[in-house]
Amino acid sequence: MNLEPVQYGLGALSGGLVGFTLGLFGGGGSILAVPLMVYVVGVPSAHLAIGTSAFAVAANAIANLIGHARLGHVKWRCAGIFSAAGIAGALIGSSIGKMIDGQKLLVLFAFLMLLVAGLMLRKRGQEGNPGAQCSRENLHKVAGLGGLTGILSGFFGIGGGFLIVPGLIASTGMPILYAIGSSLVAVASFGLTTTVNYALSGYVDWLLAAVFVAGGVLGGLLGARLCKQLSGQKGMLNSLFAGVVMLVATYMLYRGLGLGAQA
């Protein structure tokens, strides 16, 4: 795919926004990647946007993971179990996603996003247990939710990955700050799995992915720093996370129900 130079510049700016959001909210940043690719950068193919953004989000997640790991915000055992189950799910979901038009399903998923955002707001005052770990008692919850979010992440390209944070909180009871750091392991794993599947069908623009990642590295550093500053304010991250999800879900419904101009 041949893009204009200005489009690559917009790709770098869009990558910066996604990286910032990933650093601040963990998996939440992934729901912005495809909309930015399509509506801001101007990628003409939805499948190409999904495949390219999957690699860019995975790379940005890895970069952000380093910062969170240094701060001790990653529960490695939980992240590993969640990711291992989700990789199989992402492979299945991305394979199905390449075969069908998911516009109607995206509308339904937007409603699911609003539901999850509402639950996050309801529980915004719960601080969680910093000592939460994965054990035999909650192993089935962690693996089950990991597989489900992997399927959604691979199928939709956007949206599925953002469920990782509430999934980790629901299955382990860990605080959102630890869930954000741990979610980046899964975001990277799911993204790379989806990338390989889409790349095999020629649905990845590697140059655009590279500039997207470059912008995301800087944005991620800023997001991770702000995340640490806001973590001490009870409910602040939960509320911001839910707000971003609601905005994106509303826009998806606006486009998906035909209320806006057709892409």
Query: pLDDT tens, 39-49?
Result: 889 888 878 88
User: What is the token pair recorded at 223?
Assistant: 């997001």
Rounded Cα–Cα distance for residues 20 and 221 (Å): 7
pLDDT at position 126, please?
Answer: 55
Q: Longest Cα pair distance anywhere in the chain, in angstroms?
A: 54
- The DSSP output letter for 200 is T
CA angle, 189 as apex, 186 and 194 as ends, to 5°? Answer: 120
Residue 263: CB atoms within 10 A of its CB come to 11
Query: No. of H helices and E strands in the chain?
Result: 10, 0
- Going from N- to C-terminal start, the domains of the chain cover 21-106+127-225
Q: Checking phi first, is residue 231 left (phi over 0); if not, alpha (psi -120 to 50) or beta?
A: alpha
- The DSSP output letter for 39 is I
Question: pLDDT: is 231 or 151 the higher one?
Answer: 151
Query: Contact 220/19 with Cβ under 8 angstroms?
Result: yes
121-146: pLDDT as tens digits: 765 555 566 666 777 778 888 898 88
pLDDT at position 124, please?
Answer: 56
5-18: pLDDT as tens digits: 898 999 999 989 88
